[in-house]
Chain A
Amino acid sequence: MTYFFQLVVSGVVVGSIYALSALGFVLIYKSSRVLNIAHGQIIAGGAFIVYALTVWAGVPIILSFLASMVITFFLAMSVERVFLRRLIGEPIISVIMVTIGLMSIIDGVIYFTPFGSMNYSFPEFLPSTPISMGGVSISWTQLVGVLITFILIGAFSWFFKRSTIGVSMRAVSDDQLASMSVGISVPKVFGLAWAMAGLSAAAAGGIIGNITGLNFETLRAFGITVFPVVILGGLDSIIGAVVAGIIMGLIQQFAAGYLDGNWGLNGTADVLPYIILLVILLFKPHGLFGTHEIERV
C-alpha cells in the first residue's frame, strides 16, 4: 500500500507542475483563441532568469523567483505588443505561425547565452532531507513546487471569477465584438493574457529547473510535454488544466509503477497519456472542461 500511496503523491506532484506549465497555454487561449507554440521557451527563459539573478547577481533566490515572474510578465506583454497586436482579426493560423517564429527567435537568443549549451543548477536553498510519512516521501523542492502551483492557480481562478479585469478577459474570450461595444479594450486584454502567461511560465520554469537542473532542451520540452494536459482539460479551462495535469501525472506514475517492466512493456508512462487523450477526445472533443461552442445558423 505504501507503494501505491507513493505513486499517488508522485503523481500529484508531477501533475501539479504539469498544471502550472499548462496554465500559460490556457490563459492565452482563453482570451485570444491563440495557441502559443513558444510556451516551452518562455518556461526555460523564466528558469534562466532566476538562475542569473541568484548566482550571477547575488539576489536571494526567493526574490529572484519573484523578479523573474515580473520580468517575464513584462517581456511577454512586450512580445504581444510588438509581434501579435497587429494580427488581431487575422486568421488564427497566421498568429500561430508567428508564435512558431517566436519560438525560433527565443531559441536563437538563448543559444547566444551560456544557458543554450551548458547545464546549471540552482544553489540548494531547501533542506535536502525529504519529508517522510509512513514510508511515503516528498522532497522539499517538490512540496514547495506543489504549494506554489496551487497558490498561483488559486490566484488566477480568483482573478478570473472575481476581479473586474478578469471578468473583462472572460468577456473578450466569449465575444470580442460585444466586449468592445461595452468599452473593454480587447488589445489590452490580449496583452494582459500574454503577460500573465509569461508570469506563470516563469514560475513553472523555476520549479522544474529546481527539480531537473537547468538544461535548455529539458526545460523547453515541457512546452510540448504538457500539450496533452491542455487538450485533455480543455483549452480554455483553468480548472481543466489542474484536473488534467493531475490525471496525467497519476497515469504516468501508475503506468511506470505497474505496467513498465512487466509483460514486456516499457515506456508506457510516455505513451499512455496520449492514448487516454485520444480516447477521451473521442467522447469529449472539447476536453473535460473546455467550452463547447454552439453556433446557431
Chain B
Amino acid sequence: MKRKYHRLWIVAMAVGLALAFMAPVQAAETYQLGLSLAITGPTSDAGNPYSKGAEDYIRFVNETKVLGDAKVDCPIRDDMYETAVTKRNFEDFLDQEMVLFLSYATGANQALAQDFNEVKIPVIPASMDKSLVGMSEYIFLPIASYSHQYVGVAEYVAKNHKGGGVPKVAAFIHPSAFGRAPLEDFKAAVAAGLKLDLVEVVEHGKDLDNSALLQRLQSKGVQYVLCQTVQSPVATLLNDAQRLGMTAASFGEAGKITFMGAHYTGGNDLISLAGSAAEGYYWTTAYHVTSEKGPWTDWQLDMAKKYERDDKTANSHNYACGMMAAQVAVEAIRRTREAGQEVTSATLYETLNQMNGDKAFESLAAVGPVTYGPGDHMGVDTVQLYVVKDGAFQSEGEPFKPEFIK
C-alpha cells in the first residue's frame, strides 16, 4: 500500500513538473512588437494620437482574444523625433526579441533602412515616403505614399481646372525630408504629361505672416497651392489668404487661390486651427474620417470611448493611422499562426508579401484593401479626396488611383 502511494506520488510529481515546464511554453506565446515615435517634440501632434491608436488596438486584441490565448506585447517609446533615439529604441526592442517594428519618421526610417535590411525585420512606418520602400525591402507602407497623395491632388487640379491654359501651381512644403518626399515624383508626373506648371517650391519657415509669399504667388498667376507639411503652417497660410481675400470660394475660382494638401496637412486639427479659413481646403488621405459616418468611424469612436480617449484623439485621423498600423501587424501574426508557422520576423515578412489578391487585407480603416507583394510594399493603393464644407471634411468623389505615378 505504501509502495502504491509512493508510485502515485512520483506520477503526480512528474505530471506537476511537466505542467510546470509547459506553462512557460504557453506564456511564451506573446508576440513582441515595438513602436518608437514622437510622442513629444516636433510632429508630436501627429505622433501622440498615433501612439494611442496603436496602444488601444493592441489592448483590444489582447482583451478580446483575437489571437486566442496568445498575446501581443507592443511597448511604445517616445523618440522625440530624434533619429539617434529611434535607433536606440529599435535596438532595445530587438533585444526583447521583437518580430515586427512599428516606426515613425521619414528621416529615422531612411537612417535605419540599412539596419532593417541587416536584421531582416518587417517594418510598418507612420511615414509614407515612397523612397523608403526602395531603401529597404522590409519596409511596408500602410497606405498610398505621400507621392501618390500629392500627385493625386495634382491630377484633380489638372482634370478639374476651369479656364484656359495650363494651371499654375506652387508647392508649399515642410523644410525636411518629409516635406520634400513627393516633389521628385510630382515633377516626374509633370514631365510624363500631367498638365501643370510648377511655378515655385516654397519651403516654409515659422512664419507669423504669409502676406509677402501669397502676394508673390498671386502675382505669378499661381491658382493652386499644394501643401506637404503639417497642419499649423497650413492654418497660418489659410488665415492669411482669407485676410487678403485670396481664398477661392469654389474650386479653381479665377484670380483666387485654391489650397490643397496631402495626409498630414489635413484632418480635424486643421479645422480647429484655421477655423472658417479652412473652408474649401482639399485634402487627400487613404483613411476614413470621423466627420463621415461609417462602420469604421463608428468603431473608431467606440474604441476611443472604451479606452477613455478625449474627443480630439477620438476624431483624429492619426488615431486611425496608429490603429491601422497595429491592425496590419496583428493580421500578419494571425495569418502566420493560421498557416501553422512559427511567428518570426521571417515568417511575418513572407505573410505580408502574400497579402494580395484574395488574401488582401480589408482593414476598414482605409478606403481600400491593404495589398502587398514582393514588388509592392505600399498597402492601400487608392486615395480619397476630401474637402472642407461647413466646418467638416467631406468626401469629394470616389477613391481613386493616381495615374501619373509609377
When the two chains form their complex, are residues A257 and B216 in contact, meaning their CB atoms are under 8 A apart?
A: yes
Question: Which residues does chain B contribute within 8 Å of A216, judged by CB atoms?
Answer: 44
**A14-B209, A116-B44, A118-B312 are contacts. A218–B216 as well, Cβ < 8 Å?**
no
Q: Of A10, A116, A132, which contacts B209 at CB under 8 A? A: A10
Complex: chain A residue closest to B41, CB-CB: A217
When the two chains form their complex, are residues A211 and B208 in contact, meaning their CB atoms are under 8 A apart?
A: yes
Complex: chain B residue closest to A18, CB-CB: B208
Chain B interface main SS type: helix
When the two chains form their complex, are residues B216 and A260 in contact, meaning their CB atoms are under 8 A apart?
A: yes
When the two chains form their complex, are residues A267 and B205 in contact, meaning their CB atoms are under 8 A apart?
A: yes
When the two chains form their complex, are residues A208 and B208 in contact, meaning their CB atoms are under 8 A apart?
A: yes
When the two chains form their complex, are residues B45 and A261 in contact, meaning their CB atoms are under 8 A apart?
A: no
Q: Of B40, B47, B231, which contacts A119 at CB under 8 A? A: B231
Is B219 an interface residue, CB under 8 A from the partner? yes
Shortest CB–CB separation between residue B346 and chain A, in angstroms?
Answer: 35
Is B347 an interface residue, CB under 8 A from the partner? no
Is A285 an interface residue, CB under 8 A from the partner? no
Complex: chain A residue closest to B313, CB-CB: A118
Question: Within residues 258 to 276 of chain A, which ones have a CB less than 8 A from any CB in chain B?
Answer: 260-261, 266-267, 269-270
Number of residues in A with C-beta < 8 Å to the partner?
46
Stretch at the interface among A67-75, A120-128, A288-296: A120-128
Is B310 an interface residue, CB under 8 A from the partner? yes
Is A111 an interface residue, CB under 8 A from the partner? yes
Is A253 an interface residue, CB under 8 A from the partner? yes
Q: Of B211, B220, B272, B275, which contacts A261 at CB under 8 A? A: B220
Q: Of A10, A111, A225, which contacts B40 at CB under 8 A? A: A111
**A267-B175, A267-B205 are contacts. A211–B236 as well, Cβ < 8 Å?**
yes
Number of residues in B with C-beta < 8 Å to the partner?
44
Is A199 an interface residue, CB under 8 A from the partner? no
Shortest CB–CB separation between residue A240 and chain B, in angstroms?
Answer: 20
Is B160 an interface residue, CB under 8 A from the partner? no
**A117-B40, A137-B244 are contacts. A213–B235 as well, Cβ < 8 Å?**
yes
Question: Which residues does chain B contribute within 8 Å of A179, judged by CB atoms?
Answer: none
Is B94 an interface residue, CB under 8 A from the partner? no
Question: Which residues does chain A contribute within 8 Å of B232, judged by CB atoms?
Answer: 119, 212-213, 215, 217-218
Q: Which of B201, B208, B215, B276 gathers the greatest number of chain A CB atoms within 10 Å?
A: B208
When the two chains form their complex, are residues A225 and B206 in contact, meaning their CB atoms are under 8 A apart?
A: yes
Shortest CB–CB separation between residue B213 and chain A, in angstroms?
Answer: 5
Q: Of A3, A117, A137, which contacts B48 at CB under 8 A? A: A117
**A118-B312, A119-B45 are contacts. A253–B211 as well, Cβ < 8 Å?**
yes
When the two chains form their complex, are residues A3 and B215 in contact, meaning their CB atoms are under 8 A apart?
A: yes
**A119-B232, A121-B273 are contacts. A128–B242 as well, Cβ < 8 Å?**
yes
Q: Of A7, A208, A213, which contacts B211 at CB under 8 A? A: A7
Q: Which of B39, B211, B231, B244 gathers the greatest number of chain A CB atoms within 10 Å?
A: B211
When the two chains form their complex, are residues A261 and B208 in contact, meaning their CB atoms are under 8 A apart?
A: no
Question: Which residues does chain B contribute within 8 Å of A267, judged by CB atoms?
Answer: 175, 203, 205
When the two chains form their complex, are residues B272 and A120 in contact, meaning their CB atoms are under 8 A apart?
A: yes
Is A157 an interface residue, CB under 8 A from the partner? no
Is A256 an interface residue, CB under 8 A from the partner? yes
When the two chains form their complex, are residues A14 and B39 in contact, meaning their CB atoms are under 8 A apart?
A: no
Q: Of B207, B212, B276, which contacts A128 at CB under 8 A? A: B276
Q: Which of A9, A107, A137, A213 gathers the greatest number of chain B CB atoms within 10 Å?
A: A213
Question: Which residues does chain B contribute within 8 Å of A270, judged by CB atoms?
Answer: 205
Question: Which residues does chain A contribute within 8 Å of B47, judged by CB atoms?
Answer: 117
Question: Within residues 186 to 245 of chain B, which ones have a CB less than 8 A from any CB in chain A?
Answer: 200-203, 205-209, 211-213, 215-217, 219-220, 231-232, 235-236, 239, 242-245
When the two chains form their complex, are residues A121 and B272 in contact, meaning their CB atoms are under 8 A apart?
A: yes
When the two chains form their complex, are residues A139 and B243 in contact, meaning their CB atoms are under 8 A apart?
A: yes
When the two chains form their complex, are residues B236 and A212 in contact, meaning their CB atoms are under 8 A apart?
A: yes
User: A7 vs B244: C-alpha distance in the bound complex, in angstroms?
Assistant: 12
When the two chains form their complex, are residues B215 and A212 in contact, meaning their CB atoms are under 8 A apart?
A: no
Q: Of B206, B209, B273, B275, which contacts A142 at CB under 8 A? A: B209
CB-defined interface of B283-327 with A at 8 Å, one 1/0 digit per residue?
000000000000000000000000000101000000000000000
When the two chains form their complex, are residues A256 and B213 in contact, meaning their CB atoms are under 8 A apart?
A: yes
Is A130 an interface residue, CB under 8 A from the partner? yes
CB-defined interface of A1-18 with B at 8 Å, one 1/0 digit per residue?
001001101100110010
Question: Within residues 29 to 79 of chain B, which ones have a CB less than 8 A from any CB in chain A?
Answer: 39-45, 47-48
Question: Which residues does chain A contribute within 8 Å of B236, judged by CB atoms?
Answer: 211-213
Question: Which residues does chain A contribute within 8 Å of B137, judged by CB atoms?
Answer: none
Is B129 an interface residue, CB under 8 A from the partner? no
Is A114 an interface residue, CB under 8 A from the partner? yes
**A212-B235, A212-B236, A260-B202 are contacts. A118–B208 as well, Cβ < 8 Å?**
no
CB-defined interface of A194-216 with B at 8 Å, one 1/0 digit per residue?
00000000000000100111011
Is B185 an interface residue, CB under 8 A from the partner? no
Complex: chain B residue closest to A13, CB-CB: B209
When the two chains form their complex, are residues A261 and B40 in contact, meaning their CB atoms are under 8 A apart?
A: no
Complex: chain B residue closest to A222, CB-CB: B206
Question: Which residues does chain A contribute within 8 Å of B381, judged by CB atoms?
Answer: none
User: A119 vs B312: C-alpha distance in the bound complex, in angstroms?
Assistant: 9
User: A242 vs B226: C-alpha distance in the bound complex, in angstroms?
Assistant: 36
Q: Of B216, B239, B274, B310, which contacts A139 at CB under 8 A? A: B239
Complex: chain A residue closest to B210, CB-CB: A256
Question: Which residues does chain B contribute within 8 Å of A107, judged by CB atoms?
Answer: 40
Question: Within residues 233 to 269 of chain A, which ones have a CB less than 8 A from any CB in chain B?
Answer: 253-254, 256-257, 260-261, 266-267, 269
Q: List B residues at the A interface (Cβ < 8 Å).
A: 39-45, 47-48, 175, 200-203, 205-209, 211-213, 215-217, 219-220, 231-232, 235-236, 239, 242-245, 269, 272-276, 310, 312
Supply 16 further A-B pairs (C-beta < 8 A) apart from A7-B215, A256-B212, A266-B202: A7-B212, A14-B209, A116-B48, A117-B47, A118-B48, A119-B231, A119-B269, A119-B273, A121-B272, A121-B273, A215-B45, A215-B273, A217-B45, A225-B206, A260-B212, A260-B213
Could you list 16 examples of A-B contacts with CB < 8 Å?
A10-B209, A14-B209, A17-B208, A118-B269, A119-B269, A120-B272, A138-B243, A211-B209, A213-B272, A213-B274, A217-B45, A256-B212, A260-B213, A260-B216, A261-B200, A267-B175
8 nearest CB pairs, A to B: A117-B48, A257-B212, A213-B273, A256-B212, A117-B44, A10-B211, A270-B205, A130-B243
